[in-house]
A and B are shown apart, each in its own frame.
Chain A
């Protein structure tokens, strides 16, 4: 059974930092690209970042470029999202998601974690 378990969320002041983690199990982790998708309270889904299975290629939405860094440790079946210079508008539930098996195109996600809430407020 595929499981994705996020951790690291919490309350942080504007300008602060947090590191989210996502521990994966139940599939061949090093074979799949992974990503983060967030959802602000009462709002829709917003893709944040993605990483290739090897970790060599990384992708970001424009609003987080230069502030967030995605990484992975295939020996620990874990991906990370380092979030710096946090803003009030980064407040959201952050979901870790597994990319589907695909041969072309970009990310679409067949398994999701339960999410971790990040609140940026003074």
Chain B
């Protein structure tokens, strides 16, 4: 199975900050990397697909990069509604695997 490792596991930041979350795959997954946002008690929301393509309706302050084994999700200027947990997910092969999550908290 492909292991997905996110860092950091948690992050404290302020409104307006630029933050970057990293996701590393245990083997190359080309660009088959997707990011989700989850708020407490809610279902996950798909943010980006294929490493860098924003889903419709996702604000442009979110951006994804990477290929192979190393990927990032950057939020350019944090807004209050961005405080949530973020997960990466590989769709290169089954079993589909998620990272352990990065909890983004208000400083």
Docked CA distance A26–B44 (Å): 19
Asked if B34 lies at the interface with its beta carbon under 8 angstroms from chain A, I say yes
Chain A: CB-nearest residue to B43: A112
Asked if B28 lies at the interface with its beta carbon under 8 angstroms from chain A, I say no
Asked if B1 lies at the interface with its beta carbon under 8 angstroms from chain A, I say yes
Docked CA distance A115–B40 (Å): 13
Chain A residues whose CB sits within 8 angstroms of the CB of B49 once the complex forms: 100, 108
Q: Is B43's CB under 8 angstroms from A47's CB?
A: no
Q: Is B98's CB under 8 angstroms from A45's CB?
A: yes
Asked if A110 lies at the interface with its beta carbon under 8 angstroms from chain B, I say yes
What class of interface size applies to chain B in its complex with A?
Answer: 20 to 34
Flag A88-106 by CB within 8 Å of B: 1 or 0 each. Answer: 0000000100001010011
Chain A residues whose CB sits within 8 angstroms of the CB of B87 once the complex forms: 44-45
Chain A: CB-nearest residue to B29: A105
Minimal beta-carbon separation of B46 from chain A (angstroms): 5
Docked CA distance A112–B39 (Å): 13
Asked if B89 lies at the interface with its beta carbon under 8 angstroms from chain A, I say yes
Flag B21-42 by CB within 8 Å of A: 1 or 0 each. Answer: 0000000000010101010000
Q: Is A108's CB under 8 angstroms from B46's CB?
A: yes
Give A contacts to B, CB under 8 Å.
35, 37, 44-47, 50, 59-62, 95, 100, 102, 105-110, 112-115
Give B contacts to A, CB under 8 Å.
1, 32, 34, 36, 38, 43-46, 49, 55, 87, 89, 91-101
